[in-house]
Structure 1
């Protein structure tokens, strides 16, 4: 009987590093192909309960249940986008007011800087003209890049929809494929891993959706209190952009400040918007995220931040969004494979109360 080969630690560590380098290189080079597939996989896991209801409970044919499930999902997203577009049209109608108030607000800021920092208005205008000139020189490339990015987003969105439909249609086929890869003795563990991945991703995405609605409601309520027009739209946009780690809330803040100029150019409104965003982010980071998000995926903050940064470097905003669920999937797999269990532990948010190294003194006979 062949004995398994036992490698020393440095050899195992070398193989792990080489594997990580290979996976990272493939992910970076093929991010345009891999990212839509992973997004579709996440949406598929989220939509499986609805698909099972239509296919198993209501006896719809598999292809029809898959089509209706994806159609409902697309209509839900389209309804949100239609509401946002309708509200944005109203804001566009107030463009002249925004322009007038923006000029007044800008003049107030210039006067404040002149009084507090003794920088003349002429010097400020000269600096702004220089920055504007540099921006105009790069304007053509920026517009071309924006148009290209928009076309890429639309194409990727179509791919995600198609992939989601196909994942739902061939769901059983893929599960049987995984079963054929492993021996029958390992099927119980495989079933446990698949079930746990499904539960973890479902809980994570539902938690994100719940967090989005709570942030939208809190932001909208705060903006309504300080008298910002279109507080419902701005609250919803803030909640949606909050799904993008780090940069989403900053983009939402800029949009909210610009939109607030439809009502008044007062600096106090801008300060009020900043206060509302800070308070909502404090509640989100210290209450909602630990309670709703971290408790679902059980990934510690350090690994989460590193994963989000790596995901952003590899695949941009989509990579940042995918980082946490992918880390959760890896942790589930690592926890259930004995040789990888230490890596699953280091990714978790376990906080042991105390640990001390215990060294036994061995008595030897002379």
Structure 2
């Protein structure tokens, strides 16, 4: 056992930089776990600035002065933020409230559909199973409706926190963009002066994570916008709410699309019934998903090493279990970062002794 541990230490931790990097990863992970909630505005600002930095670099490559590029990108970000808060967010909240008020009618229609199943498929579905499913769905919908009704009173602290986010995040994003080099150099002073391995890992992580995060932001915007236009033209109710769900579903490949298909199908079925209109809605939704997976994703992520589906599912379960919804949202970027670190990690091959070679 001792020889095995010595061999692993020699293979993976013979470089001094590797040990320092491991300590940084452990300390950084523990810091985020214990202080992540407290520093959530700063972490969110770093991620947003990381996304916007790609646009700043693009403008700089076109000859735009740096301060002009930063101010222009920041103004675009503020325009999107204001449009989301005062335009999209009230619309989505209105549609969520309307959907909650329609919940009793949807439940009654669902009951009528479920009651037909034991007669049509007596060998597959029993009346007891239908009643169990109906009671569970009714209980869940009742809890959601009750939460929506009590939201205005119980969530005042959350609204205060949201106001803090709205004020602090734009300020932090601006300074992270403006003083990026100063902040990075300040952190670099805490590291060894000679760090070629860390520089290589930083380059790989920056390339992979930057392309992935920025690509996902563009993908969410495109898929959500196209879905909203398609649903609006087809007369689909709650188009903004469903478009937001479809757009956010691309954050979690495979799982997100499968989960979001359920509310799209259920709302379309109750809105139009089982007919031609419902089929057209599902066909449009299927075309959007197909174009996203086969056209948009290869274009946006051509320079990113794709993760295996098993790695994606494990990352979602692991980081979601640690950080909840935020962990699910950032599971793929974190997994991509870990993959980039492992790919660039120095591995020293064990030298064979002359005696072993003679054997």
Give a deviation string over 1:130-156, Cα, whole Å, max 9, x none.
954995699579857766656555544
The 5 Å alignment of 1:50-89 reads 50-51=55-56, 53=59, 69-80=73-84, 82-85=86-89, 87-88=91-92
CA contact (8 A) 1:213 1:239 kept: no
Q: Specify which of 36, 39, 57 is matched with residue 31 of structure 1.
A: 36
Q: Specify which of 154, 160, 177 is matched with residue 186 of structure 2.
A: 177
Q: 1:48: which partner in 2?
A: 53
**1:296: how far off?**
1.4
CA contact (8 A) 2:46 2:173 kept: yes
* 2:327 paired with 1:319: yes
Q: 1:309: which partner in 2?
A: 317
Give a deviation string over 1:33-77, Cα, whole Å, max 9, x none.
4554343223212222554658x95557x5x87565434212123
Name the CA shift for 1:112/1:70 in 2 (closer, same or farther; >3 Å).
same
**1:31: how far off?**
2.5
Q: 1:355: which partner in 2?
A: none
CA contact (8 A) 1:98 1:261 kept: no
CA contact (8 A) 1:308 1:323 kept: yes
Q: 2:109: which partner in 1?
A: 105
Q: 1:115: which partner in 2?
A: 119
**1:257: how far off?**
4.9
* Unpaired segments ≥5 residues, structure 2: 14-18, 350-354
Give a deviation string over 1:9-38, Cα, whole Å, max 9, x none.
355789999987766544332231455434
Q: Specify which of 165, 182, 185 is matched with residue 174 of structure 2.
A: 165
Q: 2:248: which partner in 1?
A: 241
SS in 2 for 1:240: helix
Give a deviation string over 1:217-240, Cα, whole Å, max 9, x none.
664577579x44258636632442
Cα separation, 2, equivalents of 1:90 and 1:195: 44
Give a deviation string over 1:279-309, Cα, whole Å, max 9, x none.
6556655665566447414544443333332
How large is the RMSD of aligned CA atoms in angstroms?
Answer: 5.3
SS in 2 for 1:296: coil
SS in 1 for 2:83: helix
SS in 2 for 1:316: helix
**1:101: how far off?**
6.4
SS in 2 for 1:314: helix
Q: 1:352: which partner in 2?
A: none
Give a deviation string over 1:73-127, Cα, whole Å, max 9, x none.
1212332455534754885897799579637733641442363367779x94996
Cα separation, 2, equivalents of 1:127 and 1:105: 11
Cα separation, 1, equivalents of 2:94 and 2:81: 21
TM-score, structure 2 length as denominator? Answer: 0.64
TM-score, structure 1 length as denominator? Answer: 0.63
Give a deviation string over 1:166-225, Cα, whole Å, max 9, x none.
312321212322443455554x66665555544433322332134335534664577579
CA contact (8 A) 1:44 1:164 kept: yes
SS in 2 for 1:32: coil
The 5 Å alignment of 1:199-238 reads 199-213=207-221, 215-216=223-224, 219=227, 223=231, 227-229=234-236, 233=240, 236-238=243-245
Q: Which moved more, 1:326-335 or 1:88-97?
A: 88-97
Q: Specify which of 128, 131, 134 is matched with residue 135 of structure 2.
A: 128
CA contact (8 A) 1:299 1:328 kept: yes
Q: Which moved more, 1:279-288 or 1:29-38?
A: 279-288
Cα separation, 1, equivalents of 2:296 and 2:100: 39
